[in-house]
Amino acid sequence: MSANVQPWDLPAPEGEGRPSAFGLLPEDLEGIPGRAAHAFSRLQRPWTWREDGLDLARAAREWLAASHDLALPVLLERHPSEDGATKVVLGLRDGERIEAVHMPREVRNPRVTLCISSQVGCAMGCTFCATGAMGIRRNLSAGEIVGQVLALIRALGPERPHAITLVFMGMGEPLHNLDNVHRAIRILNHPQGLNISTRRITVSTSGLVSGIERLSRMTPRPWLALSLNSTTDEARSGVMPVNRVWGLARLRQALDDWNLAPGEKFLLEYVLLDGVNDTPEDADRLADWLGDLRAGHNINLIRMNEHPASAFRTPPQARLQAFLDRLKARGCFVTVRKSRGRDVQGACGQLLK
């Protein structure tokens, strides 16, 4: 590989074999026996399925099976957390495995957040992330991404999609697999399918500016989360290699160019690494970098979730609190993420298969 070519500049390998039927849109089903819209709805709504699988007429099933795989990713392992989340291991048709996390929330209107993967491994090499230690194995197809969601719903619920929030914060850099990720979003958002609003779909990126710029022009467009994690180019380049190509100033320009819709907000994720990026001076630089984004957008502080693939550690509570207080004093809207599934290695940065 040339010294000037980065791993994310190269397309990740694609899976081999027949494509998944769960990656089809209604227009792809023209010619199926019966109505295309009906077949799409049956494919995308697990509560319509029989105990033994899809509730499709025999002729429609045979039409699909002639060219497409009708199997969902296989749920191989469940790892329940003490906090109610469940990390699952899903098997793909070529033997690869991915991890995803099912996180119910018992609030006034109960909801379930599904943290889903977009790739097997990751090319970005972020040094605090377990998935980054794998390197990139391959992209997930749109059908595998959608199938991952359907497999989680079928096994763990909820029974209806209005209670679902999707976050592309699992394995992989979603913007390195943007074509498949966006096609999956189109399917998951389709009114004849799960009809999940794009206001309940968030795509998190390590800062792949070329992908941010492409996604900003796409329709439908999910909400954007940016994993920031440092406040100087030197420090950020040390933990996130992508910053060596697109530094903090260029990243900020990409946010300015996003052209936010009414009510749309960014999520700015900041993983606190003990002794690395958690000083009051870091908090001040973060507030300065945010500028006019301070009050209207959520800065989400994340305690480093420790794992064997990284030497970084979680900062003490007192340092986290001081960082939080400093940001609030600077007029920032800031929250601390309650990481789910830490005890089963299912929290942010811990997924590794």
The model's confidence at residue 41, banded by pLDDT at 50, 70 and 90, is: very high
φ, ψ of residue 147 in degrees (nearest 5): -60, -35
Q: What is the pLDDT of residues 105-133, one digit of tens each?
A: 876 677 899 999 999 999 999 999 988 88
Rounded Cα distance, 338 and 2, in Å: 41
For residue 1, pLDDT beyond 80:
no
pLDDT at 45: 93
Sorted by sequence, the CB contacts under 8 Å of residue 335 that are 6+ apart come out as 298, 299, 300, 301
Rounded to the nearest integer, the mean pLDDT of the chain is: 93
In three-state form (DSSP H/G/I as H, E/B as E, the rest C), the secondary structure along 11-54 is CCCCCCCCCEHHHCCHHHHCCCCCCHHHHHHHHHCHHHCECCEC
Nearest alpha-carbon partner for 149 in 11, 43, 305: 43
Residue-wise pLDDT tens digits, 127-173: 999 888 899 999 999 999 999 999 999 999 997 788 899 999 999 99
pTM: 0.95
Ranking 5-9, 162-166, 304-308 by mean pLDDT, the lowest is 304-308
Enumerate the CATH 3.20.20.70 domain ranges in the chain, comma separated. 7-14+71-344
Segment 93-99 mean pLDDT: 96
pLDDT value for 342: 77
Q: Residue 345: pLDDT band by 50, 70, 90 thresholds?
A: confident
Q: Provide the 3-class DSSP secondary structure of residue 101.
A: strand
301 three-class SS:
strand
* CATH number at 7-14+71-344: 3.20.20.70
**Per-residue pLDDT reduced to its tens digit, 214-241:** 999 999 999 999 999 999 999 999 999 9
Angstrom distance (rounded) from CA 207 to CA 201 = 18
Q: Per residue in 56-72, pLDDT tens?
A: 999 999 999 999 999 99
The answer to whether the CB of 166 falls within 8 A of the CB of 145 is no
Q: C-alpha distances in angstroms, 39 versus 3, 159, 321?
A: 49, 19, 52
Where are the alpha helices (H) located in the chain, listed in sequence order?
36-44, 58-65, 142-156, 178-189, 209-216, 233-239, 248-256, 280-290, 317-329
Both structure tokens of 266: 């960014």
Residues with catalytic function: 99, 348
Residue 337 in contact with residue 349, Cβ under 8 Å? no
Q: How far is residue 153 from each of residues 116, 169, 204, measured CA to CA in Å?
A: 12, 17, 21
Angle at Cα 263 formed by Cα 158 and Cα 259, nearest 5°?
115
Predicted pLDDT of residue 233: 97
pLDDT of residue 89: 97
Provide the phi-psi class of 349: left if phi over 0, else alpha when psi is between -120 and 50, else beta: left
Q: How many CA atoms lie within 13 A of 28 on its CB side?
A: 17
pLDDT (tens digit, 9 = 90+) per residue, 257-274? 999 999 999 999 999 999
